[in-house]
Amino acid sequence: MQYPSLSELKRNCSDLLVDESTTVRRAAELFITMNVSQLIVRNCSNQLTGIISENTVIRELMNSGGATLIGAIQSRHVESARE
């Protein structure tokens, strides 16, 4: 099996940004169309506030049907690393 190189895995982070007011249903659509498993969440002041995972979105879809806003279920304590 051929694995993608690091450069192939890199993406423009702005493509992965969603607002806290994004619905769970919309986040699910983004996971599918962008082929990612994490999205970066920002507030109305454009400050990064956390991340949302594909698993969290799937669970919330099963529980609420998709109307919940990402801001209510995002992970707020995130650590990052630089290359």
The token pair at 74 is 């995002």
Fold of the domain built from segment(s) 16-72: CBS-domain (3.10.580)
Confidence band for 64, pLDDT divided at 50, 70 and 90 = confident
The pTM of the full predicted model, rounded to 2 decimals, is 0.76
Query: What's residue 82's pLDDT?
Result: 58
Residue 13 has pLDDT above 90, yes or no: no
Beta strands in the chain (DSSP E): 17-19, 38-42, 48-53
Sheet hosting strand 48-53, strand order edge to edge: 17-19, 38-42, 48-53
